[in-house]
Structure 1
Amino acid sequence: MSFPELETARLKLVQITEEHTERYFEIMSLDAVTKYYGMESLQQKEQAADIVKSFKTGFESKKSMRWGIVLKETGTLVGTAGLNNLRIGQKRAEIGFEIHPDYWSRGFTSEAARAVIQYAFAELNLYRVGAITFLENKASIGLLEKIGFIKEGVLRGYIYQNGISNDTYIFSMIKSEWEGLTNN
């Protein structure tokens, strides 16, 4: 199966390849981006190259899918969005995303997330899409709630980052909820 490209009004969601490594490093080396990400900021371009390779491996093994968020207008990679912990046989995955701070608060992340969710339910026929956020990550919490995710509870000590085990919220959406939102 070839990697599916998605398109929205302002964005192209594309497979992340080696050509994106430099820009991906620029984004993921920013502490503002990784503050609530569950990993330390990247320090070397080789780290970004390894992650880009892991995106391809994850897709080939059907365990994850990660799209590059590219602005149609300029062709600029501004972030990524995708499905983590993809379990097609179990009909579930978790959505994740990040975007360069220069593009925050413009609706790009929610636009990309909606396209990924639509793909997950319509094309992969998943039943559930989950999301994990740090308790303090008000921007992601707001985005998930705006899209229609339901907060299920707290996962205690779930993400280890910066030498600390952090509590997180778990959110979810099931296919019928998404269909109810998109068919109105």
Structure 2
Amino acid sequence: MLKLDFSAVPHLTTERLLLRSIDAQDLKAIHQLRSDEAVNIMVGRETPTALSQSREFITKIGDLVENRECLYWVLAFKEENSLIGTISCWNFDIENEIVEIGYEMLPEFRGKGLMKEALKKVIEYTFQRLNAKLITAFPSGVNANSVGLLKALNFQFSNNPYNNKHTNVADIVSYILKK
């Protein structure tokens, strides 16, 4: 059974990165990340028009973590601690032991292997600590970089929609990784 016994987002580390909880210092970077219109089209998200919307998002994430409805990591270089991307585990299906994973990165940090490095750590955590049996991801099929990243991490395409709650993403596809 899934173990949602976290009371806060655990800090994780990789060779180059610190994965930590989101906080007020991340406001401008979160706003920048969530204002990427190309990404927003692929994830079915409206582009925020004001910094206050990003502040509300940070508060919402804090509430979801507190209620054990998601884990949301900020990716930062160890020596800098500034947000360069995010990864979340959410959409927990306790009965079937399924966790959905989502991720995004600021454009200037893409293509450097950083997300792959971070995802490996989060996948390890999700299987070992949350006790998931299956991790799902639902990228837009036109997002070749995201699909390629999932394939590089041994995710497999699936015709099963699993726990997909995304209704406003064009060409959405299902990828799964079994424990």
- TM interval, shorter chain, is 0.7 to 0.9
Query: What TM-score do you get using the length of structure 2 for normalisation?
Result: 0.88
Q: Is residue 2:112 matched to residue 1:101? A: no
Which stretches in structure 1 are left out of the alignment for 5+ residues? Answer: 176-184
1:98-137 alignment to 2 at 5 Å? 98-137=104-143
Q: Shift of residue 90 of structure 1? A: 3.5
Distance 1:139 1:49, change over 3 A: same
Query: What TM-score do you get using the length of structure 1 for normalisation?
Result: 0.86
1:155-174 alignment to 2 at 5 Å? 158-160=166-168, 166-174=170-178
Pick which of 146-155 and 128-137 moved more: 146-155
1:10-159 alignment to 2 at 5 Å? 10-153=16-159, 158-159=166-167
Q: Shift of residue 154 of structure 1? A: 7.3
Distance 1:88 1:15, change over 3 A: farther
% identical equivalent positions: 27
Which stretches in structure 2 are left out of the alignment for 5+ residues? Answer: 1-6
Q: Is residue 2:10 matched to residue 1:4? A: yes
Q: Which one has the bigger strand percentage?
A: 1
Structure 2 CA distance for aligned equivalents of residues 18 and 76 of structure 1: 12
Q: Shift of residue 58 of structure 1? A: 1.3
Question: Amino acid of the residue matched to residue 107 of structure 1?
Answer: G
Structure 2 CA distance for aligned equivalents of residues 48 and 79 of structure 1: 15
CA RMSD, Structure 1 to Structure 2 (Å): 2.0
Structure 1 CA distance for aligned equivalents of residues 142 and 160 of structure 2: 12
